[in-house]
């Protein structure tokens, strides 16, 4: 499908990602929406390139797409709130556990680490 010039566009810049929302026209001059995610990658030599992913949404799918998108975003906000807690997005993010704190093999072999089980209970 040949894409025509954008009829109406909006851009959302989000860190290394940029989202393009474009209204385009079909050959029959009906409208549809494309959403393009463009992500910037830096090569070892300092140059960079972009990877793009595009989805097409047609009018017959708008109502259900909008409903499901709202349901999914509402679910995330209701479950986790709207505060960003990801390390990638928040430089001062502190994990609640210490990944360097590990149980050693010797600690696993101590009598305190075993549980008495009666096979009659099984």
d(C-alpha 98, C-alpha 74), whole Å:
31
Between 73 and 88, where is the model more confident? 73
For the chain, the structural domain boundaries read: 8-80
The model carries a pTM of 0.62
CATH topology of domain 8-80: Nuclear Transport Factor 2; Chain: A, (3.10.450)
CB 37 within 8 A of CB 19: yes
- Predicted local distance difference test score (pLDDT) of residue 16: 85
Which whole-number Å values give the CA distances from 41 to 34, 51, 52, 53, in the listed order? 22, 8, 11, 14
- Predicted local distance difference test score (pLDDT) of residue 85: 75
Confidence band (pLDDT; 50, 70, 90) for 2? low
Between 71 and 88, where is the model more confident? 71
- Predicted local distance difference test score (pLDDT) of residue 83: 87
- Predicted local distance difference test score (pLDDT) of residue 92: 57
């Amino acid at each position: 499908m040949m894409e025509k010039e954008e009829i109406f566009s909006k851009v959302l810049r989000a860190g290394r990602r940029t989202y393009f929302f474009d209204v385009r026209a079909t050959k029959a001059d009906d409208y549809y929406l494309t959403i393009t995610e463009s992500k910037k990658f830096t090569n070892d030599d300092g140059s960079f390139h972009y990877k793009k992913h595009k989805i097409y949404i047609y009018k017959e799918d708008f109502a259900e797409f909008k409903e499901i998108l709202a349901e999914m975003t509402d679910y995330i906000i209701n479950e986790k709130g709207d505060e960003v807690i990801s390390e990638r997005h928040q430089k001062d993010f502190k994990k609640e556990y210490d990944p360097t704190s590990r149980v050693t093999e010797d600690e696993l072999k101590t009598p305190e680490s075993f549980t008495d089980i009666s096979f009659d209970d099984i």
